[in-house]
């Protein structure tokens, strides 16, 4: 199961590289609850796709995404908690995400919370 969960993030990375919001959003459940780095809540795959389509033609046009799944923990049969770290290049924006993945069939991300971690304090 871990390979199919990691494949979700590979699909996001590939979609980002192509500027393809449909591919990027394809890993999310139709009813996903998605919180972006600005704390805005998006409900549904269509909202995620629309938001990323705008990003791919404006601020993040031509950028790349790298992602590393750092934790996969089973919560219950067919349900996993996933942590991932991503970086948007060349801007160097690092994000951390927590996601809940349903995998009672084809795995999909049911909930996703993305954030930019606070830097070190002095």
Tens-digit pLDDT string for the chain (122 aa): 799 999 999 999 999 999 999 999 999 999 999 999 999 999 999 999 999 999 999 999 999 999 999 999 999 999 999 999 999 999 889 999 999 999 988 899 999 999 998 876 55
93-102, strands of its sheet edge to edge: 41-43, 28-35, 108-115, 93-102, 79-89, 64-76
pTM higher than 0.85 for the full model? yes
Residue 26: the pLDDT is 98
Asked if 75 and 100 count as a contact pair (C-beta separation under 8 A), the reply is yes
**Residue 12 DSSP class:** H
Residue 87: the pLDDT is 95
């Amino acid at each position: 199961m871990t390979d199919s969960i990691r494949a979700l993030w590979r699909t996001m990375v590939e979609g980002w590289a192509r500027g393809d919001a449909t591919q990027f959003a394809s890993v999310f459940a139709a009813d996903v609850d998605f919180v972006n780095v600005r704390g805005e809540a998006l409900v549904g795959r269509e909202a995620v796709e629309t938001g990323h389509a705008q990003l791919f033609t404006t601020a993040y046009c031509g950028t790349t995404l790298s992602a590393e799944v750092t934790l996969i923990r089973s919560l219950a049969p067919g349900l996993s908690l996933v942590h991932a770290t991503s970086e948007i290049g060349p801007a160097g924006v690092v994000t951390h995400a927590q996601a809940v993945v349903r995998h009672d069939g084809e795995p999909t991300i049911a909930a996703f919370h993305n954030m930019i971690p606070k830097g070190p304090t002095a």
